[in-house]
Every structure is written in C-alpha cells, then in structure tokens.
Amino acid sequence: MINAADVIASLRARDIENTGHGPLYRRLQVALKAIIDDGVLKVQDALPSERDLATELNISRVTVRNAVRALVEDGVLVQRHGAGTFVAPRVEQALSRLTSFTEDMTTRGLQPGAIWLEKSVGHASPEEAMALNLSPGTEVSRLRRLRTANDKPMALEFAVLPRAFLPSPEDVDKSLYDALARHGKKPDRALQRLRAELFDAETAKILGVPEGSAALYIERRSFLANGTPVEFTRSYYRGDSYDFIAEMQVDAR
Ligand code: 16G
C-alpha cells in the first residue's frame, strides 16, 4: 500500500515550480511519470486525491486535474469511477505461447483495435526475402498498423507475408491471424527476437509517447506446421506498457 506522504515528498523534491519548462501542469505530468518510472508509485497503486495533491504541493486543482488527465490519455494512469486514480496495469505476454495481439488483449478484458497506416502489395525486399525464405522479388502483402487496447496506442506493427498465403491485405479485417486461419494458414510456431531501443521522433509521435522513451523492438518470424515461413513482422512496443515473461527450467540432465 502506497503512502501518500511518500508520493507528496517525492513530488516536492522535484520542485516542479522551479524546474523544467512549459506550463505547470506539464511539469507535474513529467514529475508524476518519473515517480512511477522510479517505482515510488507502482502498478495498481492509487494516486493521492486531487485535493491533497493541490493542497500539499500548493498548486491549483486545475493544474493537478490537467496533469492527471494527460497521463490518463497517455495510458499511464487509469480512473475508476468512484474509486480514484491508479497506475495503469502493464500487459504481460508469455514468450512461450504463440498468440495474436487480438487474443492477448481480449483475454485481458481489453478491447483490441487497429489503425491502418499501410496496406499494400509489392515485391519482397532482400531483407524480407531472406526472412521469409523467398526468392528475391516474390510478391508479398504488407500491413502497417498501430495496435490499440481500449483506444490506447500499444504497438506499431509492420507485417510482411507471401501473397501465396495472404493474397491481399484487404483480406484482413481486425485480426491478421484470423484472416490466415480462414485461408488455413495460421502460424504454428514462431521465432521472436527482442531488443531495447529508443523511440525515434516519428514512431514516438504515432504512439503518443515522448521522443527518446523506451521501446521494445520485436521481430517475429512465424511458420506453418510444415516449417514454411508465413509471417515476418517488425514491431515497436511501448516499453512503459509491456512485460514479456519467459518461464525457465534447469536442464533436466
Ligand atoms: C502479435 C504479433 C504479430 C502478429 C500479430 C497478429 C508480437 C510481438 N507480434 O502482435 O507478429 O502479426 O500478433 O495479431 O507478439 P492480430 O491477429 O490481432 O492481427
């Protein structure tokens, strides 16, 4: 259980009135985000009330409200009617199960969504041909989507598939894996490579996060049961929203 006094003390220590630039509510927003990143406020912790924050920090309630609203819009905080404001839960994804974004969000009670940024067909680039084990120039379908959960941006995904398995990006409505299943081409196995990156200006803008914030870059190559590559997807996930969980066992020997 978080002690409201610790939160107030951490915010006071950041001296938002004399530190940083821009409107005061923005500086409070940055300070609140920082104390969440530092672990003073953890997932599911409640924020002190708007009135307490305003009184203790000697700022107006409007300033507090605007900062909180901006963090709710960023998906950092959630407001529960009648209960208060809390640090938003992170999405946990097991690295051992092959699931789609739609399945991941639905099982967590979140509404999956996608904003289309590109639907096209073309010829495989050398990198795509290599990843999908195609001859250079083979026709591919390309889908670039901003993935959302309850309208909050979560990840930017760029999927490339042989046209032999996905003849047209128009075949995909909400879920790529559902479309592949309809063609009898649902992936059976996947290899995933993850690395830490920082968001560049353009990707940060699309995901609604500050430039230079933490990103998880993920490449997934998925395969049919017979081993044929079916998908090559490059994604940027918000580092502030995702935990990837891997279960490990000691060698049985
Ligand atoms: C996940 C996969 C992505 C796949 C998508 C299909 C990761 C890192 N990536 O986001 O490779 O294309 O699911 O989701 O997990 P959909 O069926 O909802 O379109």
**Measured in angstroms, how far is the CA atom of residue 158 from the centroid of ligand 1?**
10
Query: 241 with 75: CB under 8 angstroms?
Result: yes
Over 60: is that where the pLDDT of 1 sits? Answer: no
173 in the same domain as 107: yes
Which atom of ligand 1 is least distant from the CA of 102? Answer: 18
At 211, is the secondary structure helix, strand, or coil? coil
Over 90: is that where the pLDDT of 251 sits? Answer: no
Q: Is residue 252 exposed (0-12), middle (13-18) or buried (19+ Cβ within 10 Å)?
A: exposed
Mean pLDDT confidence for 164-174: 94
Please measure the distance between the N-terminal and C-terminal CA atoms of the chain and give it in whole angstroms.
Answer: 43
162 in the same domain as 46: no
Q: Output the domain CATH number for residue 18.
A: 1.10.10.10
**Measured in angstroms, how far is the CA atom of residue 74 from the centroid of ligand 1?**
22
Residue 4 amino acid letter: A
Four-residue CA torsion sign, 8, 12, 13, 15? positive
At 76, is the pLDDT very low, low, confident or very high (cuts 50, 70, 90)?
confident
**Measured in angstroms, how far is the CA atom of residue 145 from the centroid of ligand 1?**
10
Beta strands across the sheet bearing 152-162: 112-123, 139-149, 152-162, 229-238, 214-223, 189-198
Mean confidence (pLDDT) of the chain = 91
pLDDT of residue 38: 84
114 in the same domain as 129: yes
At 11, is the secondary structure helix, strand, or coil? helix
**Measured in angstroms, how far is the CA atom of residue 157 from the centroid of ligand 1?**
8
Four-residue CA torsion sign, 143, 125, 230, 244? negative
pLDDT tens figures, 191-226: 999 999 999 999 999 998 889 999 999 999 999 999
97 in the same domain as 78: no
Residue 85 amino acid letter: T
Is 250 inside any structural domain? Answer: no
Residue 156 amino acid letter: L
46 in the same domain as 20: yes
227 in the same domain as 164: yes
How many domains does one find in the chain?
Answer: 2
146 in the same domain as 167: yes
pLDDT tens figures, 108-131: 778 999 999 999 999 999 999 999
Is 133 inside any structural domain? Answer: yes
196 in the same domain as 75: no
Is 181 inside any structural domain? Answer: yes
Query: Domain limits at 47?
Result: 4-87
Is 251 inside any structural domain? Answer: no
Q: What is the spatial distance between Cα 128 and Cα 130, in angstroms, rounded to a whole number?
A: 5
pLDDT of residue 253: 66
Over 80: is that where the pLDDT of 183 sits? Answer: yes
74 in the same domain as 46: yes
Task: Point out the domain boundary residue: 21, 52, 87.
Answer: 87
pLDDT tens figures, 26-39: 999 999 999 988 88
Pocket test of ligand 1: the residue of 108, 157, 217 to mutate, having most ligand atoms within 8 Å of its CB, is 157
- pTM of the model as a whole: 0.78
Q: Output the domain CATH number for residue 120.
A: 3.40.1410.10
Q: Is 218 a pocket residue for ligand 1 (Cβ < 6 Å)?
A: yes
Which atom of ligand 1 is least distant from the CA of 233? Answer: 11
Pocket test of ligand 1: the residue of 115, 197, 220 to mutate, having most ligand atoms within 8 Å of its CB, is 220
